[in-house]
Amino acid sequence: MASDDSTFDIIITGAGLSGINAAYLLQSELPNHSFIILESRDHIGGTWAFWKYPGIRSDSAMALFGFPWYPWTKDINMADAHLIKKYMEDAAASQGIDKKIRFNHRVTSESWSSEEQRWTLHVDVTSGDGTVLEKKIFKTPWLVNATGYYSYEKPRSTVIPGIERFQGEVVHPQFWNDEVQYDNKRILIIGSGATAITLLPALAKTAKHVTMLQRSPSYVYSLPARDELQPFMERFMPIQWAGKINWCIRMVAETLFVQLLLNFPNWGRKLVVDEMRRQLPKGFDVDKHFNPRYKPFEQRVCLCPQGDFFKALCGPNASVVTDHIETVTEDGILLKSGETLEADMIITATGLYMVLLNKIDVFVDDVRINDTIGQRYMWNGVMLEGIPNTGVITGYVAATWTPGASTRTRQFIKVIKHAEKTGATIATPYIDEAERARLPKKPCIPNSSTYITEVRDRLPLVANVGPWRNGKNWLEDTIRLWFGWVTTGMRFTSWNRAKSD
């Protein structure tokens, strides 16, 4: 196996939730393989070390959002970002994964050579302020990209007419820092997704008034603030057992909940809307502000702990307005209805800039493939058609992220194991032209949120047949992992054959 300081059997990019989890699975299932994690920043955490806006937290229950191999032992159900970051650090240290991370190593390009049978990674070693101190080259036959599917540097671009005239402060949540002061201010949040739902109750604690301005309503569902089951079970059994049982119970409950809402949307709409109505003040116009046009999980259902979002709306200094923007003025926003909303601060919570392999140029035999990702099919949610020996790890959109990332990482490990068992050195998802012409072209993320639909040309395709799919839930993916043929839709090539080809 590889052993020098620049060549490894497997390289992971990104030390966020998916990267740390992938590292654990790799060293558990492929213990004789060398690997490292290349992380562009100087700490573990990914998303949970990046976002700084008030109230930033998980929007899933931590029993599922955390790692199955390192149970979340706090009774907090939806944890703040700093707690998630600390949990990830502790989890990585518990398995020695923290020793395998190269911090301040920013991958700028990944280049596959069929002649060499491996990837070459060009890496900038940077200082804390981003200054490039050194350039390095790493090589590996197998690559795991765990950098997520949105840009840290670039927010979603959205046109807000007249925003340049506003005399107050305009803040994007993605670039929030400690210098942003919001106490006793009139704040307008533009947006109605998970970020806006999190921001409103957090800001309302000290702001003069907070208004969430939305073009259309979202579904918002409350989860308990505390996980009572895990601490209860820990009284009678070891933490690891309690964690695994709690994980299984919550996995079954989430899968049933999501599938019921997807398969019985009218019932699901009534269930969620009635629950929102129960938590809002009497006489609140629920049909206008919280009765979406779309079905549950056609866009993400927003979650809040113990109804904190609804409790804020029951108070005197928080409100929601459903309307369209005519223009931003010097001191607020004029709506299409003619109403004016005055503000000292505008927060543009309008979505993410979605992109795979962010800021990494990827080449396959000297051909750049970044601009063709939207034309390639996804193989079992983890590999891309025509790109050898690399997994792209993402989680679920309509359910908790981590179980999806886990099953897809395991699927990639299954590919590595089969390749090594059969003596192959290259594994490439492959579709012949006749089959490709017959396959449906569907988006890998069917979510109808604007920030997703507008970038579908940058995200892979699926056909929802055979291996050309991006699983929607853990049960479906696990069945495919256990019983699916790893050779279907995959071309395994030995070194000698590749040379002759």
Domain-ending residue, one of 350, 369, 399: 350
Mean pLDDT to the nearest integer, 477-500: 83
Q: How far apart are CA 286 and CA 448, in angstroms?
A: 22
Could you tell me which residues come within 8 angstroms of residue 389 by beta carbon, excluding any fewer than 6 positions away?
112, 118, 119, 141, 142, 143, 426, 427, 428
- 499 domain residue, yes or no: no
- 66 domain residue, yes or no: no
Do 358 and 339 lie in one domain? The reply is no
- 127 domain residue, yes or no: yes
pLDDT for 496 beyond 70: no
| CA-closest candidate to residue 16, choices 101, 131, 80 | 101
139: three-class secondary structure by DSSP: strand
Q: How far apart are CA 225 and CA 57, in angstroms?
A: 12
C-beta of residue 58 within 8 angstroms of C-beta of residue 79: yes
The tokens describing 142, both together, are 């197998």
Do 190 and 218 lie in one domain? The reply is yes
- 250 domain residue, yes or no: no
pLDDT for 498 beyond 80: no
What pLDDT is stored for residue 356 in this prediction?
84
Could you tell me which residues come within 8 angstroms of residue 482 by beta carbon, excluding any fewer than 6 positions away?
none
Which CATH number belongs to the domain containing residue 361 in this structure?
3.50.50.60
Q: How far apart are CA 478 and CA 464, in angstroms?
A: 16
- 312 domain residue, yes or no: yes
What pLDDT is stored for residue 150 in this prediction?
85
| CA-closest candidate to residue 30, choices 420, 391, 403, 380 | 420
Helix (H) or strand (E) holding 422: helix 401-422
Q: How far apart are CA 74 and CA 262, in angstroms?
A: 31
Do 129 and 175 lie in one domain? The reply is no
**φ/ψ of residue 334, rounded to 5:** -95, 125
**pLDDT, tens only, 112-142:** 999 999 999 999 999 977 899 999 999 999 9
C-beta of residue 162 within 8 angstroms of C-beta of residue 335: no
Helix (H) or strand (E) holding 268: helix 265-279
| CA-closest candidate to residue 108, choices 91, 118, 121 | 121
Do 357 and 399 lie in one domain? The reply is yes
Do 224 and 334 lie in one domain? The reply is yes
| CA-closest candidate to residue 140, choices 425, 353, 455, 411 | 425
Do 146 and 161 lie in one domain? The reply is no
Domain-ending residue, one of 350, 368, 403: 350
Q: Quick one: pLDDT band at residue 494, thresholds 50, 70, 90? A: confident
pLDDT for 3 beyond 70: no
Domain that holds residue 291: 157-228+265-350
210: three-class secondary structure by DSSP: strand
Query: CB neighbours (10 Å) of residue 476?
Result: 15
Q: How far apart are CA 425 and CA 117, in angstroms?
A: 7
The tokens describing 1, both together, are 């196996």
Least confident stretch, 224-228, 276-280, 356-360, 400-404: 356-360
Do 56 and 139 lie in one domain? The reply is yes
Do 120 and 172 lie in one domain? The reply is no
Do 341 and 373 lie in one domain? The reply is no
Mean pLDDT to the nearest integer, 418-434: 95
Residue of higher predicted confidence among 168 and 351: 168
What pLDDT is stored for residue 154 in this prediction?
83
The tokens describing 452, both together, are 């997703």
C-beta of residue 398 within 8 angstroms of C-beta of residue 258: yes
pLDDT for 450 beyond 90: no
- 329 domain residue, yes or no: yes
Q: Return the amino acid letter for 228.
A: E
What pLDDT is stored for residue 104 in this prediction?
95
- 317 domain residue, yes or no: yes
Q: How many whole angstroms from its chain centre is CA 399?
A: 11
Reading phi first (left if > 0) and then psi (alpha if -120 to 50, else beta), residue 134 is in beta
**pLDDT, tens only, 24-65:** 999 999 999 999 999 999 999 999 999 999 999 998 899 999
What pLDDT is stored for residue 500 in this prediction?
46
What pLDDT is stored for residue 446 in this prediction?
81
Q: How far apart are CA 87 and CA 73, in angstroms?
A: 10
C-beta of residue 301 within 8 angstroms of C-beta of residue 219: yes
What pLDDT is stored for residue 278 in this prediction?
95
Q: Quick one: pLDDT band at residue 434, thresholds 50, 70, 90? A: very high
Do 295 and 385 lie in one domain? The reply is no
Domain-ending residue, one of 288, 322, 350: 350
Mean pLDDT to the nearest integer, 203-225: 94
pLDDT for 2 beyond 60: no
Average pLDDT over all residues of the chain: 92
Q: How far apart are CA 221 and CA 106, in angstroms?
A: 38
Burial of 418 (0-12, 13-18, 19+ CB in 10 A): middle
Count of domains for the chain: 2
Beta 142-145 vs 132-140: how paired, if at all? unpaired
- 464 domain residue, yes or no: yes
Q: Quick one: pLDDT band at residue 377, thresholds 50, 70, 90? A: very high
Do 93 and 28 lie in one domain? The reply is yes
What pLDDT is stored for residue 1 in this prediction?
47
The tokens describing 379, both together, are 């193989």
Query: CB neighbours (10 Å) of residue 313?
Result: 24
Task: Label each residue of 444-467 as H, E or C.
Answer: CCCCCCHHHHCCHHHCCEECCECC
Q: Quick one: pLDDT band at residue 454, thresholds 50, 70, 90? A: confident
Q: pTM score, two decimals? A: 0.93
pLDDT for 269 beyond 80: yes
Do 139 and 206 lie in one domain? The reply is no
Q: How far apart are CA 490 and CA 55, in angstroms?
A: 44
